[in-house]
Amino acid sequence: MISFRTALALLFAFALAATLRAQEATLGLSSPTTSPGQQVEIVLTVRDARSADVPETLNVPGLQIQLFGRSTRFEMNNFQITSSLTFTYTVIPERTGEFDIPPVAVQVGGKTIQTNPLRLNVVDSALGMPSAQPMLPPATDPGIAPPTPQGQAVPFFGELVLSKKKAWVGEPIPVELRYYFLGSIGGEVGDRPNLTGEGFTTQKLNNVPKREQIVNGDNYVVFAFQTSITPAKSGMLEIPPAALEARLQLPGSVPPGFDDFFRNFGGMVPPGMFTNARQVAVETRPVQIEVSPLPKQGRPENFSGAIGKFKMEASVNPKKTGPGDPVTLRVVVSGQGNFEAMGAPVLTSDENWRTYPPSEKFQPTDGVNFSGEKVYEFMLVARTDQTQTPGVTFSYFDPDTGKYETLTQAPLAVEARAGEPTQAPPAAAESAASKSEIGADAKAASPALLKPVGSSSWTLPILNPAFLMANAALGLVWSLALIIVVVRLISRSEGGLRRKKARKTKALLAALKDCPDKEFFSRAAECLRSLLHVEDHPLEADSELDSLDLDDDSKDVLLDLLARDAECKYSFGATVAPERETRSRILEALKKMSS
């Protein structure tokens, strides 16, 4: 049995520990999402303080924030006395948007404590989350601890909040998993819950900052996780419970020996003084969604699976190009929906352009890839001189109206010229090099010609050894120069060029046998253009190939080779690894041309 003096000493130690604890202030929202005119609450909690001064109003443009009430709570948890002051603000949004609520300055005991900032997302009621006030589970549910001694507050519970209860196949549905723990309970929670099931897919769970929330007059700490669920089939879809592991300090019974002591104080045990550690799995309740198939009526031909609300913008760069140079048509699709499953926009009136599959880049604006923008870049090459780009259309299904919509972008102004790409003429550099070589040789020979003959003797110049050596050297230089000129004339003649190209083609064909897959199409196309003698005019390869006396199968194979080569150059998403059969057919067709 504990004596009265010992009990007083324990109480003094508890009071001293309480005064030494660090004071802190935190802000929490009753819901991170609401709609205009729909009230939510901000809870400001100051721990380990008996009094505090807070502002009556918070100034955030677009929000009406007013202090509503305050309360004080003292608790004992594991022999530590804790106190907290709770201030509740009402928040009434005036318009939609994202609002940053700055830190609040709290005056405690002559010093200022800053709270954490908050962000409130105000959306249209059609897109917003449902009411944030959770539905408490009955205390008799399995896995729920019995009520705390001072009231009927449930120690912990979970809920799954859906943005809508009716959806379409393929439509992403934002979801928030919330896990509530009574503020008087200490403990640790796991990394993230486990949400799996049949008939739907989920995005990676995104952690939401911990917050505090008043539920039925009791203060709870809320751990939340956001994701989106995409139904894969029609019918009634059930989202099963999602469990979050936690280790909690739950209220326990009074140890033996303390009964007489507390009987002296009216038999009241301080709340939270005795606790037991317990491993629990906090589960959400199963939720059902009614899923409908996408309607067939009114479905556009170019619909590629986009579901949501979108807008589209386009731009072209550069707006003026040289012959054969590509332009980039940049198309940006932004909004809310299934960005990861949607297909690319469709080009219209593109008969006079060479078009290739676009590159794709998605930039999300939230943690669950529900909102953001997707950028498509098309590489275009003009077949004939053009003054405008192709048009663009993008079709999607609006889940709110249940109808298909089509966005249209008119052609954009551009000056694009057809023809082969500009290249620097190679002959100029070779001519300059040959002149410099000949000039250097002549300069090297000139000192020997100008060397004076000795005046002490007289001999005929033709018999002078120096004269003979100088003329022999000069003759050799001129002979070499003549040989170089003749060889270059022969090599530049039609026959010489043909033999040179034949050697080059033979080398290219030999190299193709061991060519890596990722380089095969470009090297094979280079070999084909060499056989067609159109290296300097690559855009003429198609017409030259059509004019050859070659069987139709071989022509088709080689025309397909040119198309694949162009796709590899201009398309970001092109497949560059040929199949074994395709590779063999291309090599066989090239050998037929070279024979």
More confident residue, 58 or 131: 58
User: How many CA atoms lie within 13 Å of 65's alpha carbon, on the beta-carbon side?
Assistant: 24
* Average pLDDT for 330-336: 95
The predicted-structure confidence for 161-172, as pLDDT tens digits, reads as follows 888 889 999 999
Q: What kind and span of H or E run contains 33?
A: strand 33-34
The predicted-structure confidence for 226-274, as pLDDT tens digits, reads as follows 999 999 999 999 999 999 999 887 766 555 555 555 555 555 555 555 5
- Please state the φ and ψ torsions of residue 449, each to the nearest 5 degrees: -70, -30
- DSSP state for residue 117 in the 8-state scheme: -
* Encoded tokens for 172: 């992403």
Give CA–CA dist 62/311, Å, rounded.
26
Please state which CATH number belongs to domain 297-416.
2.60.40.10
CA 396 to chain centre: 21
What pTM, to 2 d.p., does this model score?
Answer: 0.58
* Domain boundary assignment for the chain: 1-132, 151-255+269-293, 297-416, 427-453+462-492, 495-594
Average pLDDT, the chain: 78
pLDDT of residue 567: 74
Q: Please give the C-alpha separations between residue 117 and each of 23, 113, 210, 220, 342, in angstroms, as whole numbers.
A: 18, 13, 12, 19, 36
Give CA–CA dist 65/402, Å, rounded.
37
* Average pLDDT for 359-386: 92
* Average pLDDT for 8-33: 61
CB 106 within 8 Å of CB 54: yes
What is the DSSP secondary-structure string of 85-141?
A: EEEEEEEEE-S-EEEEEPPPEEEETTEEEE---EEEEE--TTTS-------PPPTTS
Per-position b or e across 119-145, b if 16+ CB within 10 A of its CB? ebbbbeeebbbeebebebbeeeeeebb
Q: Which amino acid is at 160?
A: L
* Average pLDDT for 122-126: 69
More confident residue, 149 or 254: 254
CA angle, residues 269, 270, 276, in degrees to nearest 5: 85
Give CA–CA dist 538/533, Å, rounded.
9
Domains 1-132 and 151-255+269-293 share a fold: yes
pLDDT of residue 564: 81
Is residue 189 over pLDDT 50? yes
Is residue 65 over pLDDT 80? yes
Task: Give 570's contacts (C-beta < 8 A, 6+ positions apart).
Answer: 326, 354, 356, 379, 381
Q: Which amino acid is at 184?
A: S
* Range in 26-30, 125-129, 385-389, 581-585 the model is least confident about: 125-129
Name the band, by pLDDT with cuts 50, 70 and 90, for residue 27.
confident
Question: What percentage of the chain exceeds 70 in pLDDT?
Answer: 75
CATH of 151-255+269-293 among 3.90.380, 2.60.120, 2.60.40, 3.10.110? 2.60.40
Pairing mode, strands 327-337 and 275-283: unpaired
Is residue 155 over pLDDT 80? yes
Is residue 147 over pLDDT 60? no
Give CA–CA dist 29/44, Å, rounded.
9
Question: What percentage of the chain exceeds 90 in pLDDT?
Answer: 32
pLDDT of residue 425: 41
Is residue 80 over pLDDT 70? no
Give CA–CA dist 404/386, Å, rounded.
33
The residues with which 66 forms a beta bridge, in sequence order, are 57, 90
More confident residue, 227 or 514: 227
**CATH class for domain 1-132?**
mainly beta
* Encoded tokens for 141: 């549910």
Name the band, by pLDDT with cuts 50, 70 and 90, for residue 360.
very high
Q: What is the largest CA-CA distance in the chain?
A: 147
The residues with which 118 forms a beta bridge, in sequence order, are 101
Is residue 16 over pLDDT 50? no
If one counts every other C-beta atom within 10 angstroms of the C-beta of residue 4, the result is 10
Is residue 520 over pLDDT 70? yes
Residue 240: asked if its preceding bond is cis (omega within 30°), the reply is no
The predicted-structure confidence for 435-462, as pLDDT tens digits, reads as follows 444 444 444 444 433 344 443 444 445 5
pLDDT of residue 575: 55
CB 218 within 8 Å of CB 151: yes
More confident residue, 178 or 10: 178
The predicted-structure confidence for 541-592, as pLDDT tens digits, reads as follows 777 787 887 888 888 888 888 888 877 776 655 556 788 888 888 888 888 8
CB 331 within 8 Å of CB 342: no
- DSSP state for residue 547 in the 8-state scheme: H
Q: Which amino acid is at 392?
A: V
Q: Which of 250, 36, 291, 286 is nearest to 177 (CA)?
A: 286
User: How many CA atoms lie within 13 Å of 320's alpha carbon, on the beta-carbon side?
Assistant: 0
pLDDT of residue 171: 94
Name the range with the highest mean pLDDT among 56-60, 153-157, 533-537: 56-60
